[in-house]
């Protein structure tokens, strides 16, 4: 397994630290991924943590050239079908997630289960609040959109998502269900981004022998 990182911001540096602590061959990092030698790319799994704009520009190169790709960049949900189809056309394995934290993926499962029960029971209105650091470009967050999709599918309608950008908050997501007689609230709070980085490296390891395009949460159930 050889890994190359696309994007060398905070997440890229954390992923690099984890790779170097494990028995994984490290091919380095790039902030100009389309300039990567195709011969090197064919040997590597690329972990992409860039920006929405960069991923939109680069995803075809990633699909055409890399052995496999792990995408942690968010903000491209509107072209998801196009991206998935292109990776499948190229035959390049891809694992994507709006959040690679194991805890968040458990939170997805819990939210899906509870919203299904409350959708069947009726009488509850869902809401959501997400908070992140002031540098985050997309709002609502990709994680919040994934949670909202689960709730919408199980309860109908469209859950309202409120976004807050402040300071250096790694990420807080609260899902609530308001009824006439009670309220249910669930919150996941990240203390750092290291959990996201560890999950991304775990995803890269899962690409060995993998085919097709997969959301990370479906591979850890």
Active-site residue set: 132, 136
For residue 196, CA distances in Å to 12, 73, 110, 220 come to 11, 11, 19, 14
Q: What three-state secondary structure class fits 165?
A: strand
Measured distance CA(189)–CA(170) in Å, rounded: 8
Q: Which residues of 129-146 are buried (b: 16+ CB within 10 A; e: fewer)?
A: bbbbeeebebebbbbbbb
CA-nearest of 110, 117, 91 to 212 is 91
């Amino acid at each position: 397994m050889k890994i190359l990182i696309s994007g060398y911001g905070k997440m890229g540096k954390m992923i690099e630290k984890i790779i170097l602590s494990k028995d994984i061959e490290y091919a380095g990092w790039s902030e100009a991924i389309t300039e990567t030698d195709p011969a090197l790319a064919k040997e590597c799994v690329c972990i992409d943590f860039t920006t929405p704009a960069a991923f939109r520009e680069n995803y075809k190169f990633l699909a055409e050239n890399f052995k496999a790709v792990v995408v942690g960049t968010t903000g491209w949900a509107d072209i998801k079908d196009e991206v998935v189809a292109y990776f499948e056309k190229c035959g390049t394995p891809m694992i994507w997630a709006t959040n690679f934290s194991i805890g968040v993926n458990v939170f997805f499962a819990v939210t899906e289960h509870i919203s299904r029960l409350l959708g069947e029971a009726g009488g509850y209105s869902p809401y959501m609040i997400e908070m992140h650091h002031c540098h985050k470009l997309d709002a609502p967050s990709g994680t919040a959109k994934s949670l909202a999709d689960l709730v919408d599918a199980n309860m109908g309608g469209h859950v309202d998502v409120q976004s807050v950008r402040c300071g250096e908050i790694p990420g807080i997501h609260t899902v609530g269900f308001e009824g006439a007689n009670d309220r249910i609230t669930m919150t996941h709070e990240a203390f750092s981004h290291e959990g996201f980085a560890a999950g991304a490296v775990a995803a890269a390891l899962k690409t060995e022998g993998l085919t097709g395009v997969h959301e990370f949460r479906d591979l850890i159930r």
